[in-house]
Structure 1
Amino acid sequence: MFACRYPATMTARYSIPDSSFHRVEEMIKKSRFITTMAHAPSVEAAREFIDRIRAEHSDATHNCWAFQAGPPGSTAHVGMSDDGEPHGTAGRPMLNVLLHAPVGEIACVVTRYFGGIKLGTGGLVRAYAGMVKVGLDTLPVRERIVPVQMEVVLDYSAITLFKRLLPEYEAVVLEEAFTVDARYVLEMPEERAEGLRLALEEMTNGTVLVELLQEEHAQAAMSH
């Protein structure tokens, strides 16, 4: 038996931005709105991106921003700013859109160059939330898979059946060694690990040894 090093409630695979920079632009009642988005795997990465866009558009009337540096819907690592717009009319609507999107690890800056026509509180909320939605509609994404590594030790007689199981659990062999027994280090999506362990125990009548490896021990596993 092993214990996974990721919480059971953590999303093991989800969409993230597939580029470091994505931008869309619209005119709303003569104000120029520019949405810029990027992958933000951490709070630090999000803040660095925001600082970069604010520097690029230092002459703008506002650079409002929001980020969500985790799986979709997670509020553990979020941030937002109205950057001078009336309280609650920019950062919060932007963050709400991000939190309801099927994309994680994302930072967004909506830059506004004021065009002379005031939008009002409701108009600002609609404009900033709408600009995030427009950005998300065209955002290139890719799948992020949370991987784990597993060490498996089994009898030589079980190797053929063992290897037939691997594709079903999206597991790949990273390393292998043959001494008294056959020893493998596998990598697979986190949510597949428990299923593979159960299948291996059933296949070998419980004689297999399975250990989920911590990252710092994964590379040393095959040196024994």
Structure 2
Amino acid sequence: MSKDYPVPAGFLERETEVKKSRFIARVYPVSDREQVRAYVDQAHRDFPDARHVCWGYQIGRPGSAAEAAMNDDGEPSGTAGKPILGVIQHKDMGDVLVIVIRYFGGIKLGAGGLVRAYAGAAESVLSSVERVVQQLRASVEVICGFADEQPLRHWCEGHEGQIEAIAYSQHVTVTVSLPEAQLAEFTRFCEAHKLDYRLDT
């Protein structure tokens, strides 16, 4: 289903260093828990000698996510997964997983230092990843006369509408996909031109 909120455009990796500890942050677009598990498993395979593989994710609309979780993977409770998830929520992005892999550099950072380091690693990758927004779209079937086809096409071109299918018989049957935000204006257009239309549900 199309989304009307920002999601990561794809995978990205960024590395930061804090007092000789390496923090490798990865961001992925995700749509379910199975994808999260697969990417976390992949990180363990890619960095088998890393001390910690911590993560946070949220699925669904930012601010009212359907699902969110985090994992400290052996770091003191609340010093890794929670700051990662906090940055995700602050970025107003949905369907997103951030994994931060840590190689310990020999200098202890303390709880406050860990929170800042994990939040900073998440911030570095989330600030760099491109976002995409896919608008919620509606599909409408329109039945019109041959003379109405060109005005209909013209309206679609000016309102982000797409002709998905067209069939000719005694009349023209057109399937139009358009942003839900344009639906009210489209119905006014159809009524003004006396076109029969049906919203596909």
TM-score (norm 1): 0.81
Corresponding residue for residue 211 of structure 1? 198
Equivalence map 1:15-26=2 (5 Å):
15-19=6-10, 21-26=11-16
Corresponding residue for residue 178 of structure 2? 188
Q: Which runs of 5+ in 2 are unaligned?
A: none
Structure 1: distance between partners of 2:58 and 2:102: 21
Match of 2:144 among 149, 154, 171: 154
Q: Residues 152, 76 of structure 1: CA spacing in aligned structure 2 closer, same or farther, 3 A cutoff?
A: same
Structure 2: distance between partners of 1:113 and 1:27: 9
Q: Deviations over 1:152-178 (max 9, x none)?
A: 112334333222211232111111112
Does residue 13 in structure 1 map to residue 4 in structure 2?
Answer: yes
Aligned residues: 201
Letter in 2 for 1:16: V
Equivalent residues of 1:73, 1:100 under 8 A apart = no
Letter in 1 for 2:76: P
Corresponding residue for residue 112 of structure 2? 122
Match of 2:61 among 49, 57, 71: 71
Structure 2: distance between partners of 1:100 and 1:68: 12
Equivalent residues of 2:142, 2:196 under 8 A apart = yes
Shift of 1:89: 1.2
Corresponding residue for residue 221 of structure 1? none
Q: Which runs of 5+ in 1 are unaligned?
A: 1-5, 215-224
Equivalent residues of 1:74, 1:99 under 8 A apart = no
Corresponding residue for residue 165 of structure 2? 175
Letter in 1 for 2:6: S
Corresponding residue for residue 81 of structure 1? 71
Shift of 1:18: 2.2
Corresponding residue for residue 219 of structure 1? none
Equivalent residues of 2:161, 2:176 under 8 A apart = yes
SS at match of 1:26: strand
Q: Deviations over 1:25-58 (max 9, x none)?
A: 1110111111011111223222211221122223
Match of 1:39 among 22, 29, 48: 29
Match of 1:91 among 60, 81, 91: 81
Corresponding residue for residue 42 of structure 2? 52
Equivalent residues of 2:65, 2:94 under 8 A apart = no
Structure 1: distance between partners of 2:161 and 2:109: 54
SS at match of 2:34: helix
Question: What RMSD, in angstroms, separates the aligned Cα atoms of the two structures?
Answer: 2.1
Equivalent residues of 2:190, 2:196 under 8 A apart = no
Structure 2: distance between partners of 1:93 and 1:146: 31
Structure 1: distance between partners of 2:178 and 2:156: 9
Equivalent residues of 1:69, 1:105 under 8 A apart = yes
Structure 2: distance between partners of 1:144 and 1:54: 32
Structure 2: distance between partners of 1:48 and 1:110: 15
Equivalent residues of 1:12, 1:190 under 8 A apart = no
Shift of 1:12: 4.7
Structure 2: distance between partners of 1:159 and 1:117: 71
